[in-house]
Amino acid sequence: MRTVLDARTSSGYGSRSRGGIHGVLDVETALTAADTAAHLRDRAAAGEKISGPAARRALTAAASTPRFEGRLVKRNFPQQAAAFLARDGIVLYDNPDAFLICAFKHANALCDPEPGATAPRQYNCRAGCGNTVRTDTHAVQIRARAEAIDRQAAHVPAKLARRLRRNADQLRAAADHHAATAQPAEALT
Ligand code: SF4
């Protein structure tokens, strides 16, 4: 929904003000991004290794992102949220479908965001993007997903099974790449 509204705003379809639904979405997006930053900090503090071209930038961003314990929202928070989201390159978006955190920097994005968009098109996430960050938890999730796909492949026609196994192999390759390149937070900051 945020992506759709960004597109309409940048194309002149919607209001450029941050009132109404835009303000609500800004607040919710900022709170979610703060949660993502907190999770990254917690995982790094627990000793998880981090990989991806944006790993260093994401850790720096996470360190400066406030926690919003209890989700207390003040009256001027929509404006603060909009300003926070406009800081290109340091807002962290959880992307569980792609098993990664997106440290969204517009110029790097391979998902073709609208000009001026402050959020990625997560449904169009592409491998090899310079905004990618993965933790050990993501790698575990990736391997679990690959195993689930392999189990599924055992019960479908051969042609579909081959495609599923290719997909599983690509996922395992992503997890292997994480294992080979991930570093502890201390080495990245
Ligand atoms: S391609 Fe994926 S990692 Fe890159 S900006 Fe888009 S959602 Fe983020």
Closest ligand 1 atom to 105 CA? 5
Mark whether 157 and 90 lie in a shared domain: no
Mark whether 22 and 94 lie in a shared domain: yes
- What pLDDT shows up at residue 13? 35
Is the CB of residue 168 below 6 angstroms from any atom belonging to ligand 1? no
By alpha-carbon position, which residue is closest to atom 2 of ligand 1? 125
Mark whether 87 and 119 lie in a shared domain: yes
Checking if the pLDDT of 77 tops 60, the result is yes
* pTM of the full structure: 0.86
| Max Cα-Cα span within the chain | 58
Would 189 be classed as within a structural domain?
Answer: no
In this prediction, residues 121-138 reach a mean pLDDT of 97
Report pLDDT digits (tens) over 112-124. Answer: 999 999 999 999 9
Mark whether 108 and 151 lie in a shared domain: no
By alpha-carbon position, which residue is closest to atom 6 of ligand 1? 111
Report pLDDT digits (tens) over 46-71. Answer: 999 999 999 999 999 999 987 766 55
Mark whether 116 and 146 lie in a shared domain: no
Cβ atoms within 10 Å, residue 126: 12
- What pLDDT shows up at residue 70? 57
Mark whether 130 and 162 lie in a shared domain: no
Checking if the pLDDT of 10 tops 80, the result is no
Eight-state DSSP code of residue 66: P
How does the average pLDDT of the chain come out, rounded? 89
Share of the chain above pLDDT 90, in %: 71
- What pLDDT shows up at residue 79? 87
Checking if the pLDDT of 97 tops 70, the result is yes
Mark whether 155 and 83 lie in a shared domain: no
Mark whether 175 and 102 lie in a shared domain: no
- What pLDDT shows up at residue 18? 53
Would 188 be classed as within a structural domain?
Answer: no
Kindly indicate the confidence band of residue 3, based on its pLDDT and cuts at 50, 70 and 90: low
Is the CB of residue 95 below 6 angstroms from any atom belonging to ligand 1? yes
Cα dihedral across residues 184, 51, 136, 34: positive or negative: positive
Checking if the pLDDT of 9 tops 80, the result is no
Mark whether 87 and 173 lie in a shared domain: no
- What pLDDT shows up at residue 72? 59
Report pLDDT digits (tens) over 139-188. Answer: 999 999 999 999 999 999 999 999 999 999 999 999 999 999 999 999 99
Percent helix, strand and coil across the chain, each rounded to 5?
Answer: 60, 10, 30
Range of the domain at 176: 137-183
Checking if the pLDDT of 104 tops 60, the result is yes
Determine contact, residues 81/30, Cβ cutoff 8 Å.
yes
Checking if the pLDDT of 17 tops 80, the result is no
End-of-domain residue from the set 134, 156, 174: 134
The total domain count for the chain is: 2
